[in-house]
Homo-oligomer: A and B are copies of this chain.
Amino acid sequence: MIDLAWPPTIRGVPLSGTGPVRPLLTAAQRRRLEAVATRYKVKPRSIIYRDGEPAEHVFINGGGVVISYKDMANGKRRVAGFRFYADLFGLAENGRYVNTTRAVTEVTVHRIPVEALTSILRQDAELEFQFLCKMVHELRQMQRKSIMVARRDAAGRLVMFLDMLWHPDDRDASRGVIELPMSRSDIAGFLNLTLESISRATRQLSDAKLLSFGRRRVRVLDRARFEQMVTGG
């Protein structure tokens, strides 16, 4: 089922961040989208599309984690971001994808031809409004990333990243456990740090008894100091 929900903390109309809550699509809108969408599963590690390819489709993440990145000329990999459930991806510039996207976990994607989508959007102001909300959400995410990468200390960046992954829903239920589906290299690429710096930062945070790192998950040991470190920078 196609969904375009977004985190409750930023629910509301796109411009002000307040107003009527419109979390989901109506049945009619969903029908219309699903009529033109192809739904399929993607195995972990497989590429969904590559940068430079003609952007003929837009994708909606129907479950799982997707990484969006681009390999630079100097061999480094710049990670643009991660796409989670209900996230939109596949926006292009000059008709071509700017990034490569790869499934981190198993992913369910809805693939929609851009032609069909834009035609639907022009007919349905309400649905268009959902996309506007999505864009504003994306914009805020990017601003957050800007702030994150602006920090000088590796540990600070890592902590902000973990906080970003700490979905509000899980915050209480999981009692301080954050899932980390992506590799350290992926995190490093996203935070604009080296793999080594990430490793040293994790050690530093472990030694400080702030977090305890597992292979693919993190446990927050000292929530107060954690929160403080997230903001304090």
Contact = CB atoms under 8 A, between A and B. Distances in A.
Contact of A142 (B58, B128, B143): B143
Interface string A63-101: 000000000010000101000000000111111101000
A165 interface: no
A60 to B, nearest CB: 12
A153 to B, nearest CB: 12
Given A135-B136, A149-B149, A121 B129 contact: yes
A5 interface: no
A27 interface: no
Interface string A123-150: 1111011011001101110110111011
Size category, A interface:
35 or more
A17 B132 contact: no
Given A139-B142, A142-B142, A142-B143, 5 more contacts: A19-B118, A91-B139, A121-B129, A131-B132, A135-B136
A140 B15 contact: no
Central interface residue in A93, A98, A117, A147, by most chain B CB within 10 Å: A93
Nearest to A98: B143
